[in-house]
Structure 1
């Protein structure tokens, strides 16, 4: 019990450290597993879990692949179907061939084991691709190709490993090649049919409300387990293909509410990935690695610098993908949990059959996993930036509402080179925003249409500025899962309500600007001539001077630090900008000020109007 608790705690620490250092968590998970296992001998997964280790690994991989397959949308690869199809089919043969030749000619494996190693190496895997994409932030086209490849190729790699394993076994027993091919085709058929059937039944249950909402996650998890186990029982190792097909079917079927399932599966997948990498890395045997020697480096270099570039060259041949994106695609291909699990499984089966060098399959696979993860995670971000195929830091704003107040805020932000996208359900507001040169989405931000067509690329925060309190609150709840609770803001609509003076709408996010102002008040002041101005603070003109000058006739909106980063004033975040900062505020016109003092000429010079 203490060991299991320690594994989850260490895994959580690895995830936190990766978040702080902006590096893929797999890097720290592998290091932790190696140190805890063969390093100090504290963790022995086989002794800890016994016969349950590989069933646990298999079911965990099934959940991870299903969750990844749910996110695969055919609309994302429109125009790139032939490229993705090559990556997942014929392009696999390129990696398979080069990896098998490297294992045979460099590591000295016999042909059967070398071909098996090549089959395992065709996988890339969502467990390492998705975290790496979060860090690298490549263009949407690169990200979609890599995600599709990683998720679809994983079960294909497992099936190829089954094919080679059965071929090796049948050859030793004097079996025929035709029997192996028939077994392979049968495995594909069983996995595909089982996945489609499971997806259809689960889709019907979700669409027709056969289940209450609180049972969606439990029922889906049970369906995935049953689909995986049944398929494997009928045809060995077809379960991964079955759950992948099931996920793709559900993810692309209209009318299936998969949002809640996705949120649950993402959290579950993160936990399983964290535990699995530590457990499998802890099984690494330094003695076996030492037996291989330095030839493992040659195998890794062949896979990284020959196999991957050749595959990308073949798969993108004749496409309109620019050379910069092809270069990044040729660099990113880390191996993940499926490679580790499949190699461990078949190495154990071959060892039981007395196959020579079978024990060396796992350490060689882990060298490739560690090598690709370490090299690519440390360099892919810099390479993407150098090639100019990385998306900008998500610092832009999604502003809900395209009314006059929202348009004025958007113009002020764009003057500071901040990307803004407005969203409104009224065509008149959207039309006026577009005529003012602002980007605007026409539709409900909570709709399924917005899920597909509302482009949040480069956006890192949401600001709800509408007269509908309920829409503001629902939008905060919806988009805190996209941007994070700290980066979701809602402007109050009317006056202060409740005994605590808190916002009536922003409980799911933060109260924008102040809990003393609302949409009605700011819109009225804007109509009367108030302007959004930027003021640069200094030693001679501090925040205190600014407040003394304007009093209640200025509402602080945004603050910009000396490095150019923009912060939002809110009721929960008491900013106190200092010298070198700039503040943006809605300031009443001179005719509206009663008891205030007009701005000095020096201050006016530092406060250009936002309009």
Structure 2
């Protein structure tokens, strides 16, 4: 028996990993393949039975896993990101949620005929969206920053609110079945949930923030201590007020994200592998519990519910929440289309439907298949159509000439500053905090972490960027980065700088990207030149001073890096491409100091001209 359980758990990990890889290769949400796997393994094949596999541990595991996922998401919510659209976000998660709740509740009761109580519970769960689906979708759709920020904030904050509403409806149904006073009992539960969840989240967040800011913990314990604090806050809040834990961990994450001095970047990365594993396991396990006979028995009723959620409830929610806002009608149109449901909806409805079924609510079994129809329908439809719709509405980020620079070393910072000073969007990414810190002090946009990680897949902001320049001292990382971003930007928009000079007599190793800055140019040599006082200089090309004259004037003292045409378009000097700057163009080149200047103190590594 033990060997069977171990084999089943291992199989979930292996097959789930294969689903994640396939989703990455096809640039589709992983939830599609995870749900299909769970359905095939569970109700179709009968190989996976989560209730037997985990027994009484199933729903505690689901709840803890969801809490970790929500905490990670809330750590990215900074109030500065929604400056100017705070009112829109606030409406989405308050009165807008009530709009969705009311419409779905009425439609569910009218279409399916189940009781008003169960319809109200289903409507409460349907107010949530799916942050685990929305954020990867945003990377593919690449909408404007306003749309991306609204959807990200809504997706993360609305999840605990939806769970809270579901708890209130559940308490009302249970109280109604035991006598009078149901409304008063529900209001009492509501106040207790808000107070306990908020206070617990802020209290534990304050203690964690103090521990991280004041170095009460060694650096290697940051990750473990934060994870323990998240689980502790979730368990404590639930113990004080049943089902308030999700609100507590969300409040805790938002508090830490917006508190000054807390090294959020260092604790963000600790859960990327864990969160990926949890999401993978959750979708497979919950899909495996689906009853296909019930799903097929719903027939067109389930499809009609999906149509109401997608084409009526969401547009009316957006219409109400964005009234009198600065958002254009095009932006509102895309917001009205994107609202996929995800893991929280599946987890919450599975928990409460089971409990209500045990208490005599026979129709509660219908809530799970209804929820999965909405999840699958919204994810499939929106993931396939959101991108073309964003381009049709002209609210997708244009194919930009901005650069994602892999590496934030002195050479990368100098190049980033030169590009930035010429109105070219730049973002640097590095795994060394010292490099990232120096880049930020220089006023450059950064991402701290591994650009190849699952966390970067979700949180690395590439808005306004259209090309990649890999220039670290790690040849292998450069290769992997080029391979990773070819799918996003295209093979002819990915560049890599060789680390060292080619060895004589040895065949050159081909790069995954175009060879940046020309044949023979390498990272080590450029870094040495920069340290000896070389500067990145801007030179205007004209009829009186052609590019050929530039070459003759500087000779080997200059390495041309970029050429900018009169319309602001940037060309990269590379071995595989021939750039011929003409009159009106600008050339950015790394130019050595004059020989008699070598005795002077070295210029700062970040200097540009």
- TM-score category (smaller protein): 0.7 to 0.9
Closer, same or farther: CA 59–395 of 1 in aligned 2, 3 Å: farther
Residue 457 (structure 1) aligned with residue 451 (structure 2): no
Which consecutive unaligned segments of at least 5 residues does structure 2 have? 1-5, 429-436, 448-459, 487-493, 549-555, 564-568, 582-609
- 1:38 deviates by 1.1
How big is each residue's C-alpha offset from its partner over 1:106-151, in whole Å with a ceiling of 9 and x where there is no partner? 0111011010111010100211111211221111111110011110
> Which of 84, 105, 125 is 2:89 aligned to?
84
Closer, same or farther: CA 531–339 of 1 in aligned 2, 3 Å: farther
How big is each residue's C-alpha offset from its partner over 1:392-433, in whole Å with a ceiling of 9 and x where there is no partner? 3566325699xxx999xxxxxxxxxxxxx9633xxxx689x4
> Which of 140, 146, 164 is 1:159 aligned to?
164
Q: Matched residues in 2 for 1:482 and 1:256: separation? A: 32
Q: Matched residues in 2 for 1:464 and 1:524: separation? A: 20
Q: Matched residues in 1 for 2:189 and 2:314: separation? A: 29
Q: Matched residues in 1 for 2:137 and 2:232: separation? A: 31
Partner of 2:75: 70
Residue 301 (structure 1) aligned with residue 294 (structure 2): no
- 1:182 deviates by 1.1
Q: What does residue range 202-221 of structure 1 map to in structure 2 within 5 Å?
A: 202-221=208-227
| SS across alignment from 2:282 | helix
Aligned length: 519
Partner of 1:169: 174
- 1:105 deviates by 0.2
Partner of 1:445: 439
Partner of 1:42: 47
- 1:208 deviates by 0.5
Q: What does residue range 423-572 of structure 1 map to in structure 2 within 5 Å?
A: 423-424=416-417, 433-434=421-422, 444-447=438-441, 450=444, 457-459=463-465, 461=467, 463=469, 489=496, 513=518, 517=522, 518-519=525-526
Partner of 2:259: 253
| SS across alignment from 1:423 | helix
How big is each residue's C-alpha offset from its partner over 1:285-306, in whole Å with a ceiling of 9 and x where there is no partner? 0111133222111111111111
> Which of 250, 254, 260 is 1:244 aligned to?
250
- 1:350 deviates by 0.4
On the 8 A contact 1:228/1:242 being kept in 2, the answer is: yes
Closer, same or farther: CA 356–83 of 1 in aligned 2, 3 Å: same
- 1:512 deviates by 6.6
Closer, same or farther: CA 366–553 of 1 in aligned 2, 3 Å: same
- 1:353 deviates by 0.5
- 1:259 deviates by 1.1
TM-score (norm 2): 0.75
Closer, same or farther: CA 496–524 of 1 in aligned 2, 3 Å: farther
Closer, same or farther: CA 178–216 of 1 in aligned 2, 3 Å: same
Q: What does residue range 575-590 of structure 1 map to in structure 2 within 5 Å?
A: 582-584=577-579
Partner of 2:112: 107
Partner of 2:586: none
Partner of 2:358: 352
Mean Cα deviation higher: 392-401 or 273-282: 392-401
Q: Matched residues in 2 for 1:439 and 1:282: separation? A: 45
Q: What does residue range 273-292 of structure 1 map to in structure 2 within 5 Å?
A: 273-292=279-298
Residue 145 (structure 1) aligned with residue 150 (structure 2): yes
Q: CA RMSD in A?
A: 4.3
On the 8 A contact 2:439/2:446 being kept in 1, the answer is: no
How big is each residue's C-alpha offset from its partner over 1:411-468, in whole Å with a ceiling of 9 and x where there is no partner? xxxxxxxxxx9633xxxx689x44xx66689994244964589985332555488xxx
How big is each residue's C-alpha offset from its partner over 1:591-610, in whole Å with a ceiling of 9 and x where there is no partner? xxxxxxxxxxxxxxxxxxxx
Closer, same or farther: CA 333–399 of 1 in aligned 2, 3 Å: closer
Closer, same or farther: CA 246–527 of 1 in aligned 2, 3 Å: closer
Q: Matched residues in 2 for 1:450 and 1:246: separation? A: 28
Partner of 1:17: 22
On the 8 A contact 2:130/2:343 being kept in 1, the answer is: yes
| SS across alignment from 1:318 | coil
Partner of 1:384: 390
Partner of 2:122: 117
Closer, same or farther: CA 80–319 of 1 in aligned 2, 3 Å: same
On the 8 A contact 1:398/1:423 being kept in 2, the answer is: no
| SS across alignment from 1:302 | helix
TM-score (norm 1): 0.75
> Which of 190, 195, 199 is 2:201 aligned to?
195
- 1:525 deviates by 13
Closer, same or farther: CA 377–441 of 1 in aligned 2, 3 Å: closer
On the 8 A contact 2:147/2:331 being kept in 1, the answer is: yes
Residue 136 (structure 1) aligned with residue 141 (structure 2): yes
> Which of 340, 345, 358 is 2:346 aligned to?
340
